[in-house]
Each structure stands twice: as C-alpha cells, then as structure tokens.
Structure 1
Amino acid sequence: MGDRPTIYAVAARCGVSTTTVSRVMQDETFGSERTRQRVLATALELGWVPNGAARGLASRRAGIVGLLFPDLGEPDVGQEESPLYVDQVIRGAERVATHAGQAVLIAALKASGGKNLAYSVASKVDGLVIMSRSLADKDVAAIARMVPVVLLAHRPGRRSLDHVAVDNRTGARDITAHLLAAHGYENIVFVGGPEGSPDSSERFAGFCEALAQAGRTLPLHPAAEGGFTELGGRTAMERLLAGGRPPRAIVFGNDEMAIGAMSVLRTAGINVPGDIAITGFDNISVSRHVTPPLTTVRQPMRELGEAAIELLLARIRQPDATRKTLYLSTELILRESCGCVSSLSATSEREELRDDR
C-alpha cells in the first residue's frame, strides 16, 4: 500500500502545492497551460487517480466503459487503422455495452495532448479498451494501474493485460498460398502498412510463411509501404510500376491500399487480374463493389469490438482473474481480382450485408 501514488507525490514532482494539483484535476481552465500539462503528465506517469474518481472506480458505479483510438484526421497519425475499420469496431463495442446497460465514452487521441485526454477518460470510466498505436507502451502501462484495460490489435507479448486481436498471420498466409497453389503466380510481392504496425508485421510474416512453404525466396521486407490508405496504395502502385518489371501478383496489407492500386492500374490500361492480380485484407463493404471485385481476407472487425468489451466487462467483474488473449479467426473471400470466379458462400454474403448496416 505504501507504494500507491498520492497527490503529494504528484505535487512534489511538479514543484507545486497539493491545492494546485487538485484544482488542475477538477478545473480544465485553472492555471497556466504549462502548469496544467506538467501536472497532468506527472499524474499519468505515476498512475495517480483523484480521490473522487478512485471512489467511483472502486464502487464500479460509473456505468461507463471507454474506447480509445488514434485520431484518424491528423497527418501521419492514425494510419494504423482506416475509418471504415474503426467504425465497425465501435459499432461492435457499442452493441455489447448497450446490451450490458453500459454507456461507451469514445475518444480519438491526437499525437499532442493525447496522454492528457486518455487520463481524463480513464478517470471517468470503469475500464478502457485501447486500440493499437493510440498511446505509447509506457502510457498504456500507467493507465492500466488506474483502471482495467483491454488492448485491441496491439503487438503480441504484453501478458500482463487482456488482449483481443485478429489472426492476421493465418489470413495473410492463406491468401498468399491461394495465389501460389491455385494460380501458380511466380512473382508475388507484399505491400505493407505503416512501419511499426502490428497488423502489417503479422500479415507480412504470414505472406513469408506461405512463400517458405512453397519453396520460394523470402523478401527481407515488403516491396512497398502504403500506410493502410487508398492514397498510399496508389503511391505504392506507381512506384512498383516505375521500378521496371512489375510483379505478377500483389498481396496488399488491407483493402483500401488495394483499391487505390487498382485505380492506378485502370488508368494505365493494365488489366486486373489478366496482367496483375490484386488481393486485399479486411473485406470492407466496398471491396465487393469495385471492378473487378476484390479477393480479400475477411477479418471480423465488428466482432473485435464486441469481444473487447465483453472481455473488459469480465475483467471489471473479476479483477484478479487470469489474463486472456483472444485471437479471432479470418476467412478467405475469393473474388475476381485474383483470377477466380467469385465463390462467396451464402453465410459470407449474409455476414457482409450485416456489416454494411
């Protein structure tokens, strides 16, 4: 108990009075911006929660859970996830929370000031779901000392916290193996998302596993990076075309990059899949409406949000239960962009229609 952070520790670290710390935590307009930022950052670093918030957390009476994700509107920030992906995750989270009688406090964290907003949200909720690349690891750890936390799509390995993710590696391995075995394509490359993205890294690893199983030479890194955006996909495709002999097939790390690349190929008069086969990942709704329809991997985006909230509510009820890591399965969706005739099952079609709603 002696190691628990206190208001006195925050005040001493900042060189201010405990009254100043208390006023800063209660009044967003109190004090200078410099003082406010110093107090908020120190409180977050030490994992100190104001007494009123702590009492609410201890009694579990807030009836609110939080969801934090990177601000998708900032340049070079939030490219880890597309707005379409985040929308589906939020819908799933809201569905489970509402059914459980909980409200959801949703916050997009900017690169600047994101830690302070995260701390503010943490002081108002019973627990948090934190999406990958929303906060630095040290800040996630600090918040996890304040409230129960479930990580969503973070890099595997943090065993001290509950974690929900998609089996990205298997999905990428399956789609690459299909290009190799069903179509016999020789020159296949991978276009990844942002550097440091856990999802992109796992999908590239699955791509390499399929190549290894087929006895192919393994690349040291993706052929290009497209930032998980449509614009990034267009740029990556332009670079691949400018590099000389273009690949016969391209495994894109997500659908938006693949769709951007297809627009470049269409403008250049290059046939998909006759000249270059294209695949994506995610199975966003527009993927089946482009020409040709996009072969992809369905990841259960809405189910991710549902599972994360379910795991968080279970953690709130039983704080000392064994930590869990859940990996949700993917599904290969074959359409025409890889050279197949569309073969969606009736079940998959119903799931796609549901995801549109």
Structure 2
Amino acid sequence: MSEKATTVYDVAEHAGVSIATVSRVLRRPDEVRESTRERVLASVKALGYVPSASARGLAARRTGVVGLFFPDFDAMRETSAFVPDRSGTVPVIPDPAADDVTGSDLLYFDEVLRGAEIEAWRNGLVLLVGVGRGVDSRSIVSDIAGRVDGLAVLAGSVPDEMLEHIARRIPVVLIAGPRRDDDFDHVSVDNRAGMRALADHVFDTRDIDGVLYVRGVGSTPDDAERFEGFSEALAARPASDRPGVSVVSAEFSRERARVIGSSLASSGHIPDAVICANDQMALGVLDAFRDHGVDVPGRVLVAGFDGIDAGRHSDPRLTTVQQPMEDLGRAAVHVLTERLADPSHAPVTLRLPVRVLVRESTTA
C-alpha cells in the first residue's frame, strides 16, 4: 500500500499554525513574519510536502498554467520584464561576422517557445505546450484549453469557431498575422514592412531583370502578409525598372526549396534574384546552388525571412529579415497575464518591429 501523501493540514499541525498561514507562506511569503515563515518552510521540508496545483486551482479558480499551441513542428536565466518595442521602423543594416555571434540552429517555433517559457517563468506560471498532429489537432487544443488559465495559439492553426468557443471560458491570444474582425488579443511582427524593405534592398543592389519569389503556404497569415510586402515593393518601382516575376511555393520546406533550386540550376534558367518567404526555403535554394556550382551572390542574389541562426552560418551567409521570435513568445504570455489581471480591457494588438540583416548572399 502506498504511503498517504502529506497534506497542507499536516504541515499546519506540524508547524503549529493555521492552514491559511501555510498557504500565505507558499504563495505570498513576503506577507508572513520571518520567524513564522521559517517554521512553516522547515515543516514543509521535514514532511516532504508538495503543494497540489489542482487544489490551489480549485481554491483560486486558477491553475497557474498557460498554454501554447502550435501546428505540427515537423511540418513546418535571469531576465528583465518584457517591454515591447513599438518603434515601427525597419532598419537595414550590415550584419556582423559570424564569428562575432554565438547560438545554436534554433528554428522559428523553438525561439517562440523559448520566449514563452521565459515569460511564464518570470511571472510564476507553468507553460503547457501542445502540438497539433493530424486529425487529432482539434482534440489536442481542446484538451489543453481545459487545463490552462489562458491560451496562445499560432494564427491559422485552429478553426475560428473553435477559438471562439474556447474564448468563452479563457483568454485567447493569437500569434502572427494581422488583426481580423475578432475580439482576440493579437501579437505579431510587421511582416509586410519587413518583406518590402528586403525586396527594396535586393532591387537596389544591382540591375534585376528577373526575380523568383518562393512563398510558403498561402493560407497562413504571415505568408500572405509577406507576399503583400513583396508586391508593394515591386509596384513602387518605375515600370522601366520593374523585373519580371515568377512565384512558386515550397511550403516553408528546405527540402522542397532545394528541389526548386536544383531544377533552376539544371535548366540554366536562373533568375537574377531569389527571395524566399522564410529562411528554411532560402537555405534550401542555397544548398542546391552550392551543389550545382552556381555563384551566390555573383550570379544570383538569395534572401530569406525570419533570422534563424542557421542563416548566419550558411555559405554564403544569408541576407534575411530578422523578426524577434523569442519576443513573440514573451509578448504572447505577457498579454495573457495582463488579460488575466484585467479581463475587461479592450482587445490588444501588439506588432513587434523587424530589421533587415544584409549579409553575403546579396552583397559581395
């Protein structure tokens, strides 16, 4: 027979205090006299007491947990308080040499997840992460929603009617994409301005007669906004200076973009520039051009979007739009905590700035 778990009542009796005092020591220790606090903590340690999250949740009507839901990953610290940057500018700057920076090959979801975890930890919350896989994605997000105080969701990964149903019970924050006709809080980056600045940089680097735009999945909000930015940059140029454009989809996949790049190289029909809607696709194009001996940037310019670490270690290093992926995750949890503290305030739209990092894939 298993030993009976220690309860808050056992701790209170052992320390000679009330259960309310034990609760205050564990949740708001600064409000309890030091001698009492030390006595209660000594009893907690002596009895091996572990507070029950479910019991706390029943008492406070809160779980202390926030959720983060992504689509399938495979298909796609000490720190200060989060302060959003609302400057609204898109700087175009030379990026320092790869030797000057450190980091692992983190991808978009990894960075967003890390930011969300940091902000949850800073606020004394637990982060519950769910990944929608196949036909079970609806049941997964529904299950997560039933376990958390608030939920951050990548825009477009959950049907609107399901989000509306969830939002009747808990706050929902959408990550990425523009605000639509809804009452959710939104956190995103300026995809359109970033891609327009990137395209302007490429078009201004040298004479471009033909450009290939490689997009992701057209149904995703980020992809649509980035294509709008590219189209705006194109339309803003004089007709005599406007390159011919081809558009293909590589579904945000490095492998599919590698096939596209190999096809271009094998056919000999290589455009003057290839602009990709994310870094993974741009890296796939670079892979193919390198394998076929195509000179980048001498023969063709290549650029991406996201600013993942792999782009600073490619050969040549990848020109890209760096979005604050970690800050996206932090902002989502930050907005959730504010919504939990004051459910009545108006829906929030937080748009984080981006910057163009100019590297060797577009400049000698």
Same fold (TM over 0.5): yes
Deviations 1:329-350 (A, max 9, x none): 110100110125xxxxxxxxxx
Deviations 1:29-59 (A, max 9, x none): xxxxxxxxxxxxxxxxxxxxxxxx9x95894
Aligned to 2:91: none
**In the aligned structure 2, how far is the partner of 1:312 from the partner of 1:291?**
40
Deviations 1:252-281 (A, max 9, x none): 111111111111111111100111110011
**In the aligned structure 1, how far is the partner of 2:298 from the partner of 2:122?**
48
**In the aligned structure 2, how far is the partner of 1:186 from the partner of 1:218?**
5
Which residue identity is paired with 1:189?
L
Larger radius of gyration: 2
Which residue identity is paired with 2:301?
A
Cα contact 1:115–1:135 (8 A) shared by 2 = yes
**In the aligned structure 1, how far is the partner of 2:309 from the partner of 2:113?**
16
Cα contact 1:254–1:280 (8 A) shared by 2 = yes
1:322-337 alignment to 2 at 5 Å? 322-337=346-361
**In the aligned structure 2, how far is the partner of 1:172 from the partner of 1:57?**
47
> Which residue of 285, 298, 307 maps to 1:274?
298
SS in 1 for 2:306: coil
> Which residue of 124, 132, 138 maps to 1:101?
124
Aligned to 1:118: 141
Aligned to 1:312: 336
> Which residue of 314, 321, 324 maps to 1:297?
321
2:278 paired with 1:254? yes
> Which residue of 167, 190, 204 maps to 2:227?
204
Which residue identity is paired with 1:121?
I
Cα 1:154–1:182, aligned 2, differ >3 Å: closer, same or farther?
A: closer
Which residue identity is paired with 2:322?
R
> Which residue of 303, 312, 320 maps to 1:288?
312
Q: Which has the higher contact order (CA 8 A, sep 6+)?
A: 2
> Which residue of 253, 257, 265 maps to 1:229?
253
**In the aligned structure 1, how far is the partner of 2:149 from the partner of 2:58?**
6
Cα 1:249–1:326, aligned 2, differ >3 Å: closer, same or farther?
A: same
Q: After the TM superposition, which segments of 4 or more aligned residues of structure 1 sit over 3 Å from their partners?
A: 55-60, 216-220, 238-244
In the alignment, structure 2 segments of 5+ residues that lack a partner are 1-53, 77-104
1:62-141 alignment to 2 at 5 Å? 62-73=63-74, 78-79=75-76, 84-141=107-164
SS in 1 for 2:147: coil
Displacement, 1:134? 2.4
Aligned to 1:166: 189
SS in 1 for 2:129: strand
SS in 2 for 1:150: strand
SS in 2 for 1:163: strand
**In the aligned structure 2, how far is the partner of 1:306 from the partner of 1:57?**
27
Displacement, 1:179? 1.2
SS in 2 for 1:188: strand
Cα contact 2:120–2:127 (8 A) shared by 1 = yes
Cα contact 1:176–1:251 (8 A) shared by 2 = yes
Aligned to 1:245: 269
Which residue identity is paired with 1:252?
C
Aligned to 1:34: none
**In the aligned structure 1, how far is the partner of 2:156 from the partner of 2:203?**
33
Cα 1:58–1:207, aligned 2, differ >3 Å: closer, same or farther?
A: farther
**In the aligned structure 1, how far is the partner of 2:165 from the partner of 2:275?**
38
Which residue identity is paired with 1:283?
G
1:9-88 alignment to 2 at 5 Å? 56=57, 59-73=60-74, 78-79=75-76, 84-88=107-111
Aligned residues: 280
Aligned to 2:201: 178
In the alignment, structure 1 segments of 5+ residues that lack a partner are 1-52, 341-357
Cα contact 1:70–1:133 (8 A) shared by 2 = no
Tell me the TM-score normalized by structure 2.
0.72
Cα contact 2:211–2:243 (8 A) shared by 1 = no
Cα 1:83–1:283, aligned 2, differ >3 Å: closer, same or farther?
A: closer
Displacement, 1:186? 2.6
**In the aligned structure 2, how far is the partner of 1:337 from the partner of 1:190?**
16
